Structure 1
Amino acid sequence: MEIVRSEGTTIGYSDQGEGEVVVLLHGFCGSAQYWEKIAPLLNGSYRVIAPDLRGHGTSDAPKGAYTIEQMADDILALLDALEIPKVTLLGHSLGGYITLSFAERYGSRLKGFGLIHSTGYPDSEEAKEKRLKSVSTIQNEGITAFVDELVPGLFSPATHDISPQLLVRTKEIGYKTPPQGAVGAAMAMRERPDRRGVISAAELPVLLVAGTEDRLIPAERTFTSDKANITQATISGAGHMSVFEAPDRLSEIILEFLETSSGKE
């Protein structure tokens, strides 16, 4: 992993391959390692950059609440440091919320963007209460207990039976999340605004990916617009974690989208 600085905070990232740049943003209590099955399938044709978000992985985890805007600004700082003018930005779950903030404010830096198991909707009041419960669990019981509670719900029931090692791997990644980073990111998600309008107003190519077995963000909360510039893709049998459950299919979807958004067709 390499590093850059954003507002005094160190952001770690991996940088593989050559060509048009695609930036991959991981989900909550993940890291760039969430893309370990995806990046090798993309970096033969593209330059793939996968940062550890603020509060996660090898990046700094300042104390206190973060904002989605702040986390998007970290990505801007990364692109500026690497002198990359335009990228395609794809975000999984939390990464999708950050992608929408980036697209809303820095659209001129994008060739296209996408949400993978993510949504433009804000947290409901019930979800906001769950965020506070998550914070309480992390602070009182520790990150290991929280991740053990979180991860099973990310996967489809079939994955539990057929590929339990994927849950183990996701937990291993999650255990490395600094507790204060998980708290900061949870509060950022809790306070994020409704950004469905960013999707519906976009003129850039947009990719929306959902899993048929996603119990966190069902397809109808991902597919909030069906304009001509928007590609909708559903992965059969996948829960919230197609990055591990269906990497070959997800990579196919991403590659097809990148061909369009980079103007290679």
Structure 2
Amino acid sequence: MASVMTSIRGLNVHYQIINPQAEKTLVFLHGFTGSTKTWDSVIQSFQDTYRIITIDLIGHGLTDAPFNVQRYSMEEQVEILHDFFKARKIPSFTLIGYSMGGRVAIAFTMKYVDMVEQLILESSSPGLPTSEERAARRKSDHLLADRIEKDGVESFTDHWENIPLFDSQKGLPAPTKQAIRKERLEQREIGLANSLRGMGTGHQPSYWEELQSFTKPVLLITGELDRKFEEKASAMNKRFQCCKNVIVENVGHAIHVENPQTFATIIEEHLEII
């Protein structure tokens, strides 16, 4: 696996690449507080067949975390990705996104539909449908962003790993929980805070009405213990024209963490069928 830093739109963007000569490409986008390390337990299943690219989104991992919040808009993150693929002469790929990375994947797909061969979303959504919901979410995201900057990453991590969304992770083996915590602790206050202020769910456009325009294959993966995102996936499944919705038993929001083998197998089987 090659770890590479490159300059895109005036930012240092970090990514990892495996099997660069392969014909088909899988691109993985992590969630909030994540990085390329998010996918370490999953990508080995694909490395002999596909070119694999994992990317640190703006403000995360080793990618720059600028102070200018405008650099963190969803529209800007989409353009960073577009210029990244264009510079590397990668015209099309399968795009896989988890949670925040899934929202980025949807936004990218809606603008650059010809580049996305198929879309795989883990525990994600196309945003909030009403302006009232977005306004309320912006308020809560800004409060959380201020808290991160005031109290620091460690205090925020203590809070974040105990929110209800991640209750199902408390029974994971100690080494797995330690790896997740380490990944979060390696983040920077400004990067996390500005990600919330710039491309949090309340700031991004709602893509619900655009989903039906995407005619290529879509795979939605959610955990049965994550009712909120299971409902979002069910609603998305009705909008996409060519969609499969898979619910994984006994796991919550982060299927790739709680059951990486099943998560990888679901994707493998999907790619073999397409």
Q: TM-score, normalised by structure 1?
A: 0.91
For 1:161 and 1:170, the matched residues in 2 are separated by: 13
1:251 partner amino acid:
A
Contact 1:152 1:167 in 2 (8 A): no
Q: Deviations over 1:29-69 (max 9, x none)?
A: 10010000011111122111000111111111111321112
Whole-Å separation in 2 of the counterparts to 1:94 and 1:120: 10
> Structure 2: 5+ residue runs without aligned partners?
none
* Aligned-residue offset at 1:197: 2.6
Q: 2:68 aligns with which of 64, 67, 92?
A: 64
Work out the percentage of aligned pairs sharing the same amino acid.
24
Letter in 2 for 1:52: D
Equivalent residue number for residue 222 of structure 1:
233
Partner of 1:53: 57
The two structures have a TM-score, normalised by structure 2, of 0.88
Q: Does 1:25 align with 2:29?
A: yes
Match of 2:166 among 139, 155, 169: 155
Relative to structure 1, is the Cα distance of residues 112 and 128 closer, same or farther in structure 2, using a 3 angstrom cutoff?
same
Aligned to 2:97: 91
SS of 1:233 mapped into structure 2: strand
Residue 8 of structure 1 corresponds to 10
Partner of 2:260: 247
Shift of 1:255: 1.3
Is the Cα–Cα contact under 8 Å of residues 215 and 241 in structure 2 kept in the other structure? Answer: no
Check the 8 A contact 2:32/2:99 in 1, yes or no.
Answer: yes
The yes-or-no answer on 1:35 pairing with 2:48 is no
CA contact 1:151–1:167 (8 Å) conserved in 2 = no
CA distance in 1, matches of 2:174, 2:142: 29
Tell me which amino acid in the other structure corresponds to 1:77: D
Letter in 1 for 2:82: L
Aligned residue pairs, count: 259
2:207 to 183, 195, 213: 195
Considering only aligned residues, what root-mean-square deviation do their CA atoms show, in Å? 1.7
- Alpha-carbon distance in structure 2 between the residues aligned to 1:164 and 1:212: 23
Cα distance in structure 2, aligned partners of 1:257 and 1:74: 28
| Bigger Cα displacement from structure 2, 71-80 vs 244-253 | 71-80
Q: After alignment, is 222-231 or 18-27 more displaced? A: 222-231
Q: Give the 3 Å change call, closer, same or farther, for CA 6–260 of structure 1 in structure 2.
A: farther
Q: Who is 2:220 aligned against?
A: 208
Are 1:156 and 1:214, in contact at CA under 8 Å, matched by a contact in 2? no
Deviations 1:102-128 (A, max 9, x none): 111111111011211101132644433
Matches within 5 A, 1:82-161: 82-122=88-128, 124-153=134-163, 154-157=165-168, 159-161=169-171
CA distance in 1, matches of 2:135, 2:251: 27
Q: Distance in 2 between matches of 1:85 and 1:260?
A: 22
Q: For residues 142-162 of structure 1, what are the alpha-carbon distances to aligned partners after superposition, in whole Å with 9 as ceiling and x for unaligned?
A: 0111122112334343x4134
**Which residues of structure 1 form unaligned runs of 5+?**
none
Q: What do residues 204-260 of structure 1 show as CA deviations (whole Å, max 9, x unaligned)?
A: 111111111226x42011232335510111111111111211101110111122234
SS in 1 for 2:34: coil
Cα offsets for 1:160-217 (capped at 9, x unmatched): 13424323211110111121111121121130111123323210111111111226x4
Contact kept in structure 1, 2:212 and 2:241, CA below 8 Å: no
When structure 1 is superposed on structure 2, of 122-131 and 133-142 the one drifting more is 122-131
Change (3 A) 1:80 1:162: closer
Q: Is the 8 A contact 1:19 1:47 kept in 2?
A: yes
